[in-house]
């Protein structure tokens, strides 16, 4: 389909972006890579009379690793995540997740900011950012503010970002220990039926710390504190992994769609998480 008519803007400064957002309110939307927003416009699921392209705004595509803290600009692409050696060493889970997003053509244009910002429950980066306990940095007319990724998502396509704010970066501490991003999908390029992001550290052969987040199993990404707690202090044996999966199943709320009925999605979620935990523990 073809989207409805819209006015297109390509500002060069963030001040100009904010000014356009203030002028047009919720009739204006910001576009980073466009792979989340443009399909919705084509399907007439999103009516955007004023489209603001961030491609010409300087300072949004940087990757910074300093003092154990990682900052990703909103315009950093999935391709950048895969091919930045420093980032792959500091946070290898990012590369593993990015390689499972869509296809190479999409990854060349799809951005961290676009994937994180709009609250699509099928996107991969929101759950990953919750797993990493990232901070989402926003800028608007009142200045800058940060929101924890674990607090950012309120409902499907509804977030803590105000209409006149722009997501400019995400930042988090470099993760420690083992990692895994496990994703089950119907075909290459599809959204996940279920996906799990897991970070685990060990001490004396047992789980010292754990963080677990699930994707596309509720109307928001789900960071499951209970699933992580079930692993702490264990040797990550079958019983511990099953307990973690059971705790996670208590936190998700999948709905039936063309990816399957609820019972199937819950089964896939448990299997996916079990695989991710085992792989992360082995790598820790």
Q: Is residue 1 over pLDDT 80?
A: no
Q: Average pLDDT of 197-224? A: 98
Do the beta carbons of residue 185 and residue 191 sit within 8 Å? yes
Do the beta carbons of residue 53 and residue 29 sit within 8 Å? no
Q: What is the pLDDT of residue 43?
A: 82
Q: Is residue 237 over pLDDT 90?
A: yes
Work out the pLDDT band at 242, boundaries 50, 70, 90. Answer: very high
Do the beta carbons of residue 97 and residue 135 sit within 8 Å? no
Q: Which CATH architecture has domain 63-173?
A: 2-Layer Sandwich (3.30)
* Torsion region of 205: left, alpha or beta (phi above 0 gives left; psi -120 to 50 gives alpha): left
Torsion sign, CA atoms 57, 63, 67, 69: positive
Say how many residues make up the chain.
Answer: 284
Beta bridge partners of 72: 63, 170
Domain 180-283 falls in which CATH fold? Enolase-like; domain 1 (3.30.390)
CATH of domain 7-53: 3.30.43.10
Q: How many CA atoms lie within 13 A of 258 on its CB side?
A: 4
Angle between helical axes of 238-249 and 262-283 (0-180°, round to 10): 140
Domain edges within the chain: 7-53, 63-173, 180-283
pLDDT tens, residue by residue, 71-120: 999 999 999 999 999 999 999 999 999 999 999 999 999 999 999 998 99
Q: Average pLDDT of 189-212? A: 97
Q: Average pLDDT of 33-59? A: 88
Q: Which residues of 206-243 are buried (b: 16+ CB within 10 A; e: fewer)?
A: ebebbbbbbbbbbbbbbbbeebbebbeebebeeebbeb
Q: What is the pLDDT of residue 3?
A: 86
Tokens 């709320």 correspond to what residue? 253
* Torsion region of 59: left, alpha or beta (phi above 0 gives left; psi -120 to 50 gives alpha): left
Q: What is the pLDDT of residue 61?
A: 96
Q: How many CA atoms lie within 13 A of 267 on its CB side?
A: 6
Do the beta carbons of residue 200 and residue 284 sit within 8 Å? yes
Work out the pLDDT band at 19, boundaries 50, 70, 90. Answer: very high
Q: Is residue 126 over pLDDT 90?
A: yes
């Amino acid at each position: 389909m073809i989207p409805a008519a819209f006015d297109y803007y390509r500002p060069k400064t963030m001040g100009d972006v904010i000014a356009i957002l203030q002028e047009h309110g919720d009739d204006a939307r910001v576009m980073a890579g466009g792979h989340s927003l443009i399909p919705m416009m084509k399907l007439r699921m999103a009516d955007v009379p004023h489209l603001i392209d961030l491609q010409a705004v300087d300072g949004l595509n940087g990757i910074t690793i300093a003092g154990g803290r990682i900052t990703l600009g909103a315009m950093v692409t999935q391709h950048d995540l895969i091919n930045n050696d420093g980032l792959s060493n500091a946070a290898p889970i990012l590369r593993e997740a990015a390689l499972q997003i869509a296809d190479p053509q999409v990854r060349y244009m799809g951005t961290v900011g676009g994937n994180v910002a709009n609250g699509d429950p099928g996107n991969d980066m929101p759950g990953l950012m919750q797993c990493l306990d990232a901070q989402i940095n926003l800028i608007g007319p009142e200045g800058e503010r940060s929101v924890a990724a674990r607090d950012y998502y309120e409902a499907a396509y509804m977030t803590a970002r105000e209409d006149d704010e722009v997501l400019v970066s995400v930042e988090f501490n470099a993760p420690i220990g083992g990692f895994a991003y496990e994703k089950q999908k119907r075909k290459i390029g599809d959204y996940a039926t279920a996906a799990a992001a897991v970070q685990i550290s060990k001490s004396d052969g047992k789980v010292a710390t754990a963080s677990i987040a699930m994707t596309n199993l509720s109307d928001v990404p789900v960071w499951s504190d209970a699933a992580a707690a079930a692993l702490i202090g264990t040797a990550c044996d079958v019983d511990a992994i099953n307990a973690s999966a059971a705790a996670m199943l208590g936190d998700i709320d999948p709905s039936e769609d063309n990816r399957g009925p609820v019972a199937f999605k819950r089964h896939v979620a448990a299997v996916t998480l079990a695989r991710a935990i085992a792989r992360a523990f082995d790598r820790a």
